[in-house]
Amino acid sequence: MEVIIRPTEEAAAKLTAKIIADAINDKPEFKLGLATGATMEAVYAELSALNKANKVDFSQVRTWNLDEYVGLAPEHDQSYRYYMNKNLFNNVNIDKRNTHLPDGLAINEELEAAVYDESIDEAGGIDLWLVGIGKSGHIGFNDPGTSLASRTHVAYLTNTTYEQNKIYFNPPESMPRRAFTAGVGTVLDAKKVVQLITGERKADIAAAAIEGPITSMISSTALQMHPDTVVILDEAAAAKLKLRDFYNEVFMNDPKWEAYR
């Protein structure tokens, strides 16, 4: 696991977007895993700007998102399909037919989940999966107790996650308690994982996720077992990391990061 700390949230998001854009430029038929949440808005704004400036081409890119609320239609303004269209897909030259999210209205949930994993496998796997982290330490909606070998499934959300996300709903109590999520195992299958963590409110969970023991109580810790994961944080989120100085030394001296400093 590589850890990069940037001074500000903006710098962290820009570095994340550059890693993604460079990877797409190396392989135009890119299979990209995506995430939602407030943290990712700056990344999608930067990718949209790079696309507008002709610095990255999404025409052959195919995407799979981590999750979607059960019961929300794509037009619902809190659905993750709506979020993705608004923050990225509407702003870049991607073919929307190449963008995948679980169908929140699927009648057969088990089938929907199985077909989602199959569609990733049929495409040859995800080249890079961008993930955030929830207050509960989740990636996707893999809340505490979820198997670290899980595949895409419907999850019942914990109170921590309900409290974290219901503020976006009007009324708050209308937030669904269940959601489709790619499993921890689904994410671990990606060739590369890039995790973005910003803000003071994430400092405790970032330290536990990056430097704590691997446990299904914090699904993000499973990324420690992934052979190619880069975690990018801003100073505020990195405040409680023990090896901060070491991570900074590596980033400033390792030639592989030269173009990103």
Q: Is 39 in the site for ligand GLP (CB under 6 A)?
A: yes
CA end-to-end span of the chain = 18
Strands (E), 48-123: 62-65, 67-69, 99-100
Q: With respect to ligand GLP, which residue has the nearer C-beta, 140 or 176?
A: 140
Among 7, 8, 29, 38, binds ligand GLP (CB under 6 A): 38
Q: With respect to ligand GLP, which residue has the nearer C-beta, 150 or 165?
A: 165
Q: Is 66 in the site for ligand GLP (CB under 6 A)?
A: yes
Q: Is 247 in the site for ligand GLP (CB under 6 A)?
A: no
Tell me the number of residues near ligand GLP by CB under 6 A.
Answer: 14
Q: Is 203 in the site for ligand GLP (CB under 6 A)?
A: no
Q: Is the CB of residue 218 less than 8 Å from the CB of residue 208?
A: yes
Among 19, 94, 133, 222, binds ligand GLP (CB under 6 A): 133
Q: Mask of contacts with ligand GLP, 156-185, x by CB under 6 A?
A: -----x---x--------------------
Q: Is 37 in the site for ligand GLP (CB under 6 A)?
A: yes
Length of the chain: 261
For residue 93, the number of C-alpha atoms closer than 13 Å in the C-beta half-sphere is 12
User: What token pair was written down for 169?
Assistant: 């709903």
What is the DSSP code string of 116-140? Answer: HHHHHHHTT--SEEEE---TTS-ST
Q: With respect to ligand GLP, which residue has the nearer C-beta, 74 or 250?
A: 74
Query: Rounded to the nearest 5°, which phi and psi values hold at 216?
Result: -70, -10
Q: Is 36 in the site for ligand GLP (CB under 6 A)?
A: yes
User: What token pair was written down for 151?
Assistant: 């595949």
CA–CA dist 109, 111 (Å, integer) = 5
User: What token pair was written down for 161?
Assistant: 């996650």
Among 3, 19, 32, 35, binds ligand GLP (CB under 6 A): 35
Binding site for ligand GLP (CB under 6 A): 35-39, 66-67, 132-134, 140-141, 161, 165
